[in-house]
Structure formats: C-alpha cells, structure tokens
Structure 1
Amino acid sequence: MTTVDSKPLSRRNVLGALVADYVPITLAILVVLLPLGYLILSSFKSPPDVITRDLVVLPDPWHVANYAEAAREVPFPRLFLNSAVVTVVGAGIKVLLSIVTAYALVFVRFPGKRWVFFAVLATLMVPPQVSVVPNFTFISSLGGQDTYWGIILPGLGSGFGTFLLRQAFLQLPADVLEAAEVDGAGHWRRLWRMVVPMAAPSIATVALVNIVFEWNDYLWPLVIVSNPDMMTLPVGLTLLHNSESAAASYGIVMAGTVMVLLPVLVVFAALQRYIVTGLTQGAVKG
C-alpha cells in the first residue's frame, strides 16, 4: 500500500512533483524553443558564423543586414498579400464548413449519419501527399494554376475541424436546444444564436489550427504555382535561397523564415487562451 505524505511541501512531495510534472514540461519546452531560438539567432549571423564546425551561439557581430537583404531579394509585400488572401479565405471557409457539417452530424436526423461520420474520420488517415497528383490534374484542367482559388479549393474540407467540433457540440446542454426548438427556432437560428456562442473556444481552436496550416502550407502551393507573383511566403523562401550562393544564403534564408513566422506567432499569442479549453471541451462524451 502506497503512503502519501500529508504535508504538501514535504521533500517527498516536492521531488515527486518535480520528477512527474516539471521535468517533462521543461524538456518539452526546450525541444520546441531551442530550434526556434537557434533560428532567430542565426538570422543575425554572418556566413562564417553559420557555416562552421564550432558551435557559435551568439552572433559576433550582429548581422542585421540579413533582414534588409532578404527584403531586397524577394518581394515580401506581394508574398505576404498572397499568403494573407489564401489564409483568410481558406481558413474562413474551412471553419464555416466544419461548423455546418458538425452541426448536421449532431443535431440533424438523416439516414446514414454514422457512416458519414466514419467517412469524415477516414479522411484523417489519408496523407495529404497522396492527393497531390489527382488534385493537380483536376485543378489544372479547370485552369486553376497560378490562381488564388486553385490554391484554396483542394484543401477546403477539414476532417479534423469537423471531428473536434462534433465532439464539442455533443457536450452542449440538450435542454437549452430542445427549448429553443419548442419555441420555434429553426436549425439556422439555433446554430448561430446558440451553438456557435456556446462552442466559441472549440471554434477558435479550429480556426487557429487552420490558420497555421494555411499560412505554413508549402507542398500544394509549390506544385500549383509557378508564377512568382502568385507564390505564398513559404514558397517564396525558395526564391530567396536560389538568389544567393549556398554559403551566403543561410543567414538570409533564416531571416526570411523569421519574417514568415512572426504573423503566425502573433495570431497564436492572441488565441492561445482558447486552445486548452477548445481541445478539452469535447473530451468526455463520444
């Protein structure tokens, strides 16, 4: 039989908390932050400090010109506009479709609803790389190369968002929705007046995940876009690498990468308080 020390701040309890909680959390934070910190520091390094067998942590001197050089070599304003259009429109439609689909799977009665849900789950098991060639053939046949809708259209379905919102909608109080139905509120009114406000944390989580995915998506925009004026920021970094020699490009590419990451970090910081609530809102009932 295991004995538990009755004193919260006893040595045994403190050591147990450190080993079981703080040490794993610290290791996880270091795994995430160390590469990001090295990326930021390397964006200020000169080529000799980056290409060396000796570990150089701090730049000496700080090479701020990397950012100016990156902005000069690649049209970042145009790339930023392209990424912003693709992210806002693509993520917005994804969230809207996830909300409507999840509502139908929970509150609308229709035959085969369980099988539809299983089909949504099946999409989570298919790697996105498998659909690149069929999507390219289809979009190209419609004239979607080097267009915004050609970049956005293939990724509009979100199995993860539908699944997460379905689980969140299952946790909503059924009495409130039944009372609204008795009062004559239709599906559309119940969805936007009741379900969406009550499930706001989960919806914000889905929105954040889709924003990050759309902003950082590299493979599909690389395949469907060949015109530099239609490239998104991640694809535009390849132009930055190609414009420089291999030895001199690392610091400049890392400076461009930091410029790409900053908007996502700002959005993440603004919505981070919703993440834990949104991910755990549907974790009980299946």
Structure 2
Amino acid sequence: MKTLQFTIPVAHDRTVIVQEDCMPHFYPHLHRHHEAQLMWILEGKGTLIADNSMHPFQENDIFLLGANQSHVFKSNAEYFDEAHPKQVRSISVFFDPNGKLASLFNLPELYMLQSFVKDYERGFKVPNEYFKEVSRRVLRLKEASQMDQLMHFFYLLRTLCHVSKQVNALSGGKNSSISENEGIRIGSIYNYIAQNFTKPITLEEVADQANLTPQAFCRYFKKHTGNTFVAFLNEMRVHEACKKLTHHKCESISGVAYNCGFNSITNFNRVFKSVIGNSPKEYMVNFQRNVQ
C-alpha cells in the first residue's frame, strides 16, 4: 500500500517553501501533506484528483490545494512512455497555516487572510482571467529572499483572496479529519483505480485492495468519498475520454470508449452525457468550435 501522508522537504530558514520541479511525470500517488499548496503547471497535462473530485489540467493552470487535502496530479499516459520521453514542470508554493504562520494570521490586520485560508481549505482553480496577476505574484515570491519573500507571500495571498470570490471549491469532501490508517486505505483504493480504470475492474478486485468484503467496501467508499464506486470509476473513465476526444490524433468515438474501459458504445454515450451534459459527438463539436 502507498501511504497517503507526504512530507515536504522543509528549509529551516524559510516559513514559505517555493519549489520548482522538472521530471518525466508528476508524483503518481494520491497523497496529502500538512502544508497548503499553490501549484502552477508550467508544462504537462493530466487529471487532478482532489478528494473525491476530478479536474483536467494543462499548461498555465494554477490550483490552490488546502492543508491535508488528498490529491494527485495524474499525468496523461503518454508521460509514462519511455520510448517517447516527455517532461512536466511546475512551481509550487507550500505553507503551513497551522505552523509558524498561525501567530501571524492571528494579527488583526491579517484576519481577512486567515478567514480566506480557512474558507477555502477544499481548494480551487484560479480562473484563466487572473492567470497573469497570480503568476506574476508567484514569480516575485520565487525571486525574493528572506523578509521580502514573506512580504510577497502575503501579497500573493491577498491576490488569491480577491480571486476566490469568483471560484468554486475543488471538492465538497471532508477528508482532513481521517486517521492515518484510513488515509492509507483510501489512497490504496484511489491508486488502484487510477492505474487500472482502462481495463475491466470488478467490485471484488477493488474491495480486496481495502481488505473488505464487496458489501462493506460499497458502504465504506460511499462514506469516505461521497460517491459510489461505479460513479467514481465512470467519472475517471469519462475524463480520460474527454482528453482523447480533443486530441489532434483522435481515434473514433467507439475506439475512445473501449480504450477508456467501457464495454459498449451505448453505455459510453449514456454515462458520458450524464457526467458531461453532452454526448461525445456534441462535446467534440463544441470543442472544435471553441478552438477555431
């Protein structure tokens, strides 16, 4: 089993950690950490799983993730192809609102920022129209040192606070109170589904990952994710299908359906429309119209 808890390398002379990463693909396992994280995708595409919700990501997307929020930036399959190496790049800002910063957030002048961090512990995606403003703040923070870095951090938080009035939370989950053992079990389940969703997965197989009977697993999964296992699996398959349908080398709709784990085109069309709101064909037409 892969543990959910993840430890960020801490610089003892820094309250705010700015980290730039360049690697073949993003860390592939569902995890969480005590720090909140602002992540700017410089290069790379895939799906963000945050608690029980999924969101596609691509270059120049920026996400705020709350402290102890379960998440994984799942890179697309092509990033794991050793024959055709690709890379991902990102800049992350880590800060622990309950650590050394807590006393600063308690200052009357910073009460607004404290409320913002608490209100958006489920995270959000920065709207595209605010990308330039937020990315400029991140770069200034990255280039600053010592006390200047802390000041630019508060400027960044103030900008995010204003942006947050026009966003929706990444999820409605409440996973921050689960125990470490429960986190390990949920992480194992999510990782198994993420690695096998393109193939047939039986309820018995995924229940075995949690060391539960199928009946107990269904109750457990619904309680901790807010979704049924089938609904979560179908949503993951549909998000993968969306990426394939909008790829410039898109195969046929039926080919996409079968390669994403659906066993019939009829079932694919029905599930796709229930998740996205349009049929696969309508989704492709709308996408092509928007990019022209």
Structure-2-length-normalised TM-score: 0.24
Which one has the bigger helix percentage?
1
Which one has the bigger strand percentage?
2
Structure-1-length-normalised TM-score: 0.24
Q: Which is bigger in relative contact order (C-alpha 8 A, separation at least 6)?
A: 1
Please tell me whether Structure 1 or Structure 2 has the larger radius of gyration of its CA atoms: 1
